[in-house]
Structure 1
Amino acid sequence: MSAIPLEALPIDELRQRSSTKWRRYPADVLPLFVAETDFALAPAISRALVRAVERGDTGYTPPEPGIRDAFVGFAQRRYGWSVEPAGVRWTCDVIMGVVELLRVVTKPGDRVIVTPPVYPPFYDTVVEAGAVVEKVPLLHGDAGWQLDLPGIEAALAAGARCVLLCNPHNPTGTVHSKASLAALADLAEAFGAAVISDEIHAPLVQSTVTFTPFLEASAAAARVGYIVTSASKAFNTAGLKCALMVASDPATIGVVQALPAEVEWRTGLFGAMAAVASFSPESDEWLDSLLARLDENARLLADLLAEHVPEAKYEIPDAGFLAWVDLSALGWGANPAERILHEARVALNAGPDFGEQGSGHVRINFGCSPDVLRDAIERIGVMTRS
């Protein structure tokens, strides 16, 4: 039986939240920018956190908080992936995990490939690790968004030492194919490079799409790759601070295990508790309902844009709650989000923040109620007629 779509909280209740999404802009602005969603927590998470508060359980995260076993079970149930437990460690958040791994697999001044348009912190992350950003943009055609494998090969041949992958990709929502990931792994291995795959949006892949964790793409992927992931995007727990680093080959497992103990100490205790609850079977039904809602909203957004902003170009994503929308045809400049905020009072992410390929684009967060989404697009539609 199909899951019943999850219902978002009323907007008046959401405006009582103190997170970035609801505090950055005045109350007359509809916030569809930062990757926070508008749903109540999964019940298992709420129960775990309430119990912790009631007993004053707010100290340091223990050496074995249960994250490893919970994630191993989740990966097996949701992806059919048998994770090697010895290859799992945890830290504060995905970007911190990426930085720590980059520091190990690169030397200062090494070049790291990123694939724009891509999550803006990727650029700063590479720099923070002491490396240099090498841009190899995604290709876009009739088959959608794809890795530019010849471009990546050229960059690796010229000396790049690592590929920072986003799978599923943010902002396009692309789930890279197993064949593409395996080809990337072969290139990395041929040139002695590593691949670090940010898979934070993996729990949000739609059931009609086949998701392959990078480490499962091939034997070569296991040898060259690392995954950094978290429950935080799917279960809206970013403020609680917990992510995982995963490896599956003896050599890469050794790298992960050799990371300083301080890397794990940075994990928030509430983040660890929330991760265990998120990855537990108790939360599967909630996640399925969330996916049903996101599928409906992604399709609703396509209909709303066709009706109110027909000049927009948008492809329904394979995963997540983020829409990459090309508004170039409207002639609103490189950063239409700025004008939309001023005139429509709708906050969207600025396309150029994702790289120069984002000129004329916006990123829309549709992890909200259909009514909020409808209101936002109707407001933008009024702008096109003024």
Structure 2
Amino acid sequence: MHDFELVHDRRNTRSVKWDNLKELYGGEDVLPMWVADMDFQSPQAVIHALKDRAEHGIYGYTITDAAISKAVSRWVEKRHGWRIKPSFLLYSPGVVTSLHMAVQTFTEPGDKVVIQTPVYTPFYNVVKAHDRTLVENPLLFEDGTYRMDFAHLEKCFQDGAKAMILCNPHNPVGRVWTIEELKQLADLCVSYDVLLLSDEIHADLIHEGYTHIPIASLSEEISQRTITFLSPSKTFNLAGLQVSYAVVEQEGMRKQLQETFSKQGFYMLNTMAVAALEAAYNDGEEWLQGLLDILAVNKKLAEEALADNPYISVSPLEGTYLMWLDCRNLNLDQKDLMEFFAKKAKLGFNDGIQFGEAGKGFVRMNIACPPETMREALKRLTDSLKEFEAAL
């Protein structure tokens, strides 16, 4: 059984999260709780598979064969009740890469593409980099949680939007969209013939009481106009191996997207990525349950530490390991807010404004770390808030 309590030293490993602190936050003594990777080792099955592959000593061109596709389709059906054929799968280095390719393939310069803000930062560039028109459908924030604004979304579709990028579970606000919400969204996409690009990379990271539903699984009508993007990278902490896949049920769309991949030179995954994906999906389920258990511990620690805090409140975390903190009661502008956390609390969070104007006054905190690290982060946070209050 994996030890999720063990604290690993990640410094001097060229870690984006740990080895860039001075440049990002002004000091090496800052505790990084930002970028979406975890401070846990991947499953032993993955480590063994990578060691075995490394020891073979020959790292030539590597195929994604039927065994890989079978592992993927079996995982998706077992975890999410969605039966997909191996032939529906296209592989690429990452979800963001695939989103770029999809926008290029299925929209034209000037076409309107909808995103729901605040949202994962690369979505903005996925649209703007290809001279498409970015249309924001801001989420409604009411009673401490978020919901979709369907009236505004329908207006976006009526105004000619060609595509929409869905984030489910939603990063950074932590929502797992319900079946009722997804059905309403699907009905709108079908009615207005809008292509849906569904980023479901956090699909396996669902907290107790919630269920992830792949929107393409709801009906034949929506599946024919949806491309779903998935990966084991967030689930099993494999981001550095660059491995993902798209599920494209509509054959014509799949061929078009495959052609774009080929034009960009995406013919295969790297050797280690293939080994890791297969090992994770075939033998990683027990590890995943251990991860979900420890995330529940950290989630509870954070909720309890901030339960009655007058300055920071926590949006309900339904999915992902990314906690969205409402800091507007501190009454600091965004620059001062981030400086407060970095200089006073010695904590490195994601700046909420990275996720759009709707993120102003918020920060994102990564809770995928050993509880000892989580307790230290929460102590720094609550101590700094006490000092802030005392100075008023």
TM-score, scaled to structure 1: 0.93
Query: Are 2:15 and 1:19 aligned?
Result: yes
Q: 1:272 aligns with which of 264, 268, 274?
A: 274
Q: What do the CA deviations read for 1:76-107 (whole angstroms, capped 9, x no partner)? A: 11111101221111001000011111111211
Distance in 2 (alpha carbons) for counterparts of 1:230 and 1:161: 25
**Post-superposition offset of 1:110:** 0.7
Secondary structure at 1:14 match in 2? coil
Aligned to 2:313: 313
1:61: Cα distance to partner? Answer: 3.0
1:380 corresponding residue in structure 2: 381
User: Which stretches in structure 2 are left out of the alignment for 5+ residues?
Assistant: 22-26, 388-392
Distance, in Å, in 1 between the alignment partners of 2:77 and 2:210 is 17
1:245 and 2:246 matched: yes
Note the alpha carbon deviations across 1:291-323, whole angstroms, 9 max, x for none.
Answer: 11111111111111236x442111231111100
Q: State the SS of the aligned residue for 2:29.
A: coil
Does the 8 Å CA contact 1:245/1:256 hold for their aligned counterparts? no
Q: 2: distance between equivalents of 1:6 and 1:263?
A: 40
Contact 1:298–1:316 under 8 Å retained in 2: no
Letter in 1 for 2:94: D
Q: Does the aligned pair in 2 maintain the 1:182–1:218 contact within 8 Å?
A: no
| Residues paired across the two proteins, number | 380
Q: Quick one: which amino acid aligns to residue 15 of structure 2?
A: S
Q: State the distance in 2 between where 1:316 and 1:144 align.
A: 7
Change (3 A) 1:120 1:250: same
Equivalent position amino acid for 2:272 in 1: F
1:134 and 1:319 mapped to 2: Cα distance? Answer: 25
1:331–1:369 CA distance, 2 compared to 1 (3 A): same
- 2:286 maps to a residue whose letter is E
Report if the CA contact (8 A) 2:101-2:261 is conserved.
Answer: no
Given that 1:79 and 1:212 are in contact with CA atoms closer than 8 Å, whether structure 2 keeps it comes out as yes
In the TM superposition, what are the counterparts of 1:41-56 in structure 2 within 5 Å? 41-56=42-57
With over 3 angstroms needed to count, the CA separation of the structure-2 counterparts of 1:344 and 1:306, relative to structure 1, is same
Cα distance in 1, alignment partners of residues 97 and 130 from structure 2: 10
Match of 2:128 in 1: 127
In structure 2, the partner of 1:105 is 106
Is the 2:12–2:19 contact (alpha carbons within 8 Å) kept by the matching residues of 1?
no
Which aligned pairs between 1:160-171 and structure 2 lie closer than 5 A?
A: 160-171=161-172
Other structure's SS at 2:135 match: strand
Instruction: Name the CA distance, whole Å, in 2 between partners of 1:176 and 1:111.
Output: 23
> Stretches of 4+ moved more than 6 A in 1?
none
Q: Which amino acid aligns with 2:334?
A: A
Q: Counterpart of 1:199? A: 200
Deviation at 1:142, TM superposition (A): 4.3
Amino acid at match of 1:165: L
Aligned mates of 2:183, 2:249 — CA distance in 1:
15
Q: 2:305·2:382 contact (CA, 8 Å) conserved in 1?
A: no
Q: Does 1:324 align with 2:321?
A: no
- Give deviations 1:49-92, integer Å, cap 9, x for gaps: 11111112433332527432111010111111101221111001
Structure 1 unmatched runs, 5+: none
User: Percent of aligned positions with the same letter in both sequences?
Assistant: 31
1:72–1:108 distance in 2 versus 1, CA, 3 Å: same
Summarize the alignment of residues 37-186 of structure 1 with structure 2, pairs less than 5 Å apart. Answer: 37-64=38-65, 66-142=67-143, 144-186=145-187
Q: Which residue of 1 aligns with 2:343?
A: 342
Is the 8 Å Cα contact of residues 185 and 224 (structure 1) preserved in structure 2? no
Q: Which moved more, 1:55-64 or 1:101-110?
A: 55-64
SS in 1 for 2:284: helix
- The Cα shift of 1:123 comes to 0.3
Deviations 1:155-190 (A, max 9, x none): 111111101010000001111112222221221222
Structure 2 match to 1:30:
31
Residue 236 of structure 1: aligned partner: 237
Residue 353 to residue 57, structure 1, CA distance change in 2 (3 Å): same
User: In the aligned structure 1, how far is the partner of 2:144 from the partner of 2:361?
Assistant: 21
Task: Read off the aligned partner of 2:41 and give its amino acid letter.
Answer: A
CA distance in 2, matches of 1:6, 1:337: 33
Answer yes or no: is the 8 Å Cα contact 1:81–1:216 preserved in 2. Answer: yes
CA contact (8 A) 2:313 2:325 kept: yes
Which amino acid in structure 2 is aligned with residue 279 of structure 1?
Y
What secondary structure sits across from 2:84 in the alignment? coil
1: CA distance, partners of 2:11 / 2:112: 43
Question: Would the alpha carbon gap of residues 371 and 316 (structure 1) be closer, same or farther in structure 2, given more than 3 Å must change?
Answer: farther
Cα pair 1:75 1:81 within 8 Å, conserved: yes
Is 1:86–1:253's contact at 8 Å kept on the other side of the alignment?
Answer: no
Q: TM-score, normalised by structure 2?
A: 0.91
1:209–1:57 Cα change, 3 Å: farther
SS at 1:343 equivalent: helix
SS at match of 1:22: coil
Aligned mates of 1:82, 1:373 — CA distance in 2: 37
The one-letter code sitting in structure 2 at the alignment partner of 1:133 is L
